[in-house]
Amino acid sequence: MPKPRLARHFFVTYAVALVTVLVGCYWLATVRMASVTDEAEFERMTATAIGLADVLENVTDFAGQDLYAQLAHKTLLSKEQKFEIVDFQGSRIDTKFFTKPPTDESIDSFPGLSQLLSATKSGRIAKTSSFNIDSNSRLFVVAVPFSPRDIPLGALCLSVEMQKTDQILSDSLKQLFIGYCSLGGFALIIGWFIALWVAKPVHDLARAVQRVASGDGTERILKPEVVELAAIAEATSRLKEKLVERGLTLGRRDTEQEAVLDSMMEGVLAVDIRQRIVGLNQAAARLLNIDIEVALRQPLQTVVRNPAIRHFVLRAIDCREPIEDDFDLPGPPKRTMRAHGTALRDPSGEGGAVIVLNDVTELERLEIVRQDFVANVSHELKTPIATIKGFVETLLDGAINEPDDNIRFLSIVAKQADRLEAIIEDLLTLSRIEQSEGSGALPLKPTRIADLLATACSDCLPRAAEQEIEMNIDCDRNLIADVNAPLMEQAVVNLIENAIKYSGTHEPILICASLKRIPAGNKEELIISVADRGCGIHPEHLSRLFERFYRVDKGRSRQAGGTGLGLSIVKHIVQAHGGTISVDSQLNEGSLFCLRIPRI
């Protein structure tokens, strides 16, 4: 049911009060007018009756008294007034003053005649009234003691039909009613404008408060002249300022929270007690492969299809303590998630849970790489150390005195020591390159790339000549780029040596360098490639080819004298220059290593 407006409420209340007052006043006025009219009529009749009694008190014989009859009629004020003389027994005294012929001698001409006679017998003036059905009007009767020559005879009864007086009174009351209605209508119109005037500041204040409640902080709240409304306006203004300040604070906090959540690498998922998604950051949407706008306020079961995640969320809502678990997400690629769940509770009993998701796929891969690295480096160092120790013990046991054996054993020890030195030197090189890569302080100088490639080929020329391998360079003589020449030369040397190891005899190696424009950003990059026609690499090894000590063919690599760190060194040198390295290989067809260095 709609609530009435304040002006209408005021007006209705005012109208009810006004109508009640006017009705009451009209009723009191009608009662008082009727009472005053009756009293005035009775007083006039009493005076007339007393005067008539005084005129007739000296009459002893009413018969033939024409003079007294004329005097009596002159005494009566109107034709409606009639009088009779009645003795104390209630009988009418015969006289020609009667206004109508008598019907009997003992009558009860007036209602309550006995009471009138009783009152006049004791010397009092009596009066009464009744309603005449025949004439449809009221009848007023006044009885005064009648004692001609001081002899109590009876009562002189004066009666008047009030039809004309009642008509005049009715007309007056109608005029009074019309006046009251006119006055009431005018008062209602005035009251309506007063109600509008009174309600206007309240309406303005309510509209301003509604604007403030809807979030409009610019709405100015005017102070009404009424003290109470001015106090409400002042309190509302202070409340508006606090709400605006709190809204700005919450807005900044929400913005900061959203920025923090969006910048997090971890995925954050918030659900309520009914497992509906109430919060989701970009990382979580990316990990779960869902759309934030579609997922919000939706049940988790309809958005996330993985049963392990749904079961974990249910456990997080029910458990009081934080929980943690790992589960796999199907690919491709297959990923491993680590989830931390914490239940939320509030005083109302509602709550939910917050789930933090971490993609630990790369961490697990790196852990496997670390374990392999530790195992490989231990194995790589253990083999030459065991060899050196074994031959040294053999020499100490007496082989040192045999000229043919001691020279051979010492040469083997020297070879293994050189291998140890190469491994340690490569590890130190990797460490230095990683430090330069992390600090970004790698010194770069403009270098002629053709000269750099020629120097790298000359370093590898002896080994290439042993296998009768031809090295061809394809590079513009004027190609100059900002690189760290020693490190870049080492990277190219490692690639050429690697190609020589796995290329067949008489198979040429092609070393190319060129500039290529990058469509995105309108930049250029230096591309250095080394291609061979060797045995190629199986696809399963390509993803781990640049890991430390990772070998495709371990036996052949050790026989060729490699440390297992060459390609790893090349990768870190390229990364220190801000570039990338890639490999494309086909079995029995050869391999192509490509370095991409952004040109400054």
Q: Where exactly are the structural domains of the chain?
A: 7-170, 264-359, 364-438, 441-598
Structure tokens at 119: 């009152």
- pLDDT score at 102: 43
| Fold for the domain defined by 441-598 | Heat Shock Protein 90 (3.30.565)
Packing angle of the helix pair 566-576, 403-439 (nearest 10 deg): 20
Residue pair 345/352 in contact (Cβ under 8 Å)? The answer is: no
441-598: same fold as 264-359?
no
- Classify burial at 63, counting beta carbons within 10 Å of its beta carbon; exposed 0-12, middle 13-18, buried 19 or more: exposed
Residue 106 has what DSSP assignment?
B
In this predicted structure, the answer to whether residue 522 has a pLDDT above a threshold of 60 is yes
| CA pair distance 364, 370, nearest whole angstrom | 10
CA angle 395, 400, 401 (to 5 degrees): 145
| Residue 101 pLDDT class (50, 70, 90 cuts) | very low
Question: CA torsion 209→213→218→223, rounded to 10°?
Answer: 20
| CA pair distance 475, 577, nearest whole angstrom | 20
**Range 364-438 has CATH code 1.10.287.130:** yes
Q: Specify the CATH number for 7-170; select among 3.30.450.20, 3.40.50.2000, 3.40.50.620, 3.30.360.10.
A: 3.30.450.20
Q: What is the pLDDT of residues 368-389, one digit of tens each?
A: 767 766 666 666 667 677 777 7
What is the pairing mode between strands 480-483 and 523-531? unpaired
Q: What is the pLDDT of residues 133-176, one digit of tens each?
A: 776 778 888 888 887 766 677 888 888 888 888 888 888 889 98
| Residue 97 pLDDT class (50, 70, 90 cuts) | very low
Residue predicted with more confidence, 217 or 55: 55
Question: Up-side HSE of residue 337: CA atoms within 13 Å toward CB?
Answer: 25
DSSP 35-58: HHHHHHHHHHHHHHHHHHHHHHTT
Model pTM greater than 0.75?
A: no
- pLDDT score at 166: 81
Highest mean pLDDT among 155-164, 171-180, 197-206, 261-270: 171-180
| CA pair distance 460, 497, nearest whole angstrom | 7
Average pLDDT across the chain, whole number: 78
- pLDDT score at 130: 82
List all residues 6 or more positions away from 437 whose beta carbon is below 8 Å from its beta carbon: 572, 575, 576
Sign of CA dihedral 513, 517, 519, 525: positive
- pLDDT score at 146: 80
In this predicted structure, the answer to whether residue 109 has a pLDDT above a threshold of 60 is no
- pLDDT score at 103: 42
From the list 383, 389, 380, the residue with the least C-alpha distance to 423 is: 380
- pLDDT score at 75: 62
- pLDDT score at 106: 39
Report the pLDDT averaged over residues 474-490: 87
Domain 264-359: what homologous superfamily? PAS domain (3.30.450.20)
Q: What is the pLDDT of residues 395-424, one digit of tens each?
A: 777 777 777 677 777 777 787 777 777 767
> CA of 94: how far to CAs of 211, 463, 597, in Å?
96, 180, 155
In this predicted structure, the answer to whether residue 227 has a pLDDT above a threshold of 60 is yes
Residue predicted with more confidence, 251 or 593: 593
- pLDDT score at 2: 52
Report the amino acid identity of residue 531.
Answer: A
pLDDT-above-70 percentage for the chain: 79
- pLDDT score at 555: 47
- pLDDT score at 512: 92
Q: What is the pLDDT of residues 232-245, one digit of tens each?
A: 777 877 877 777 77
Report the pLDDT averaged over residues 57-68: 54
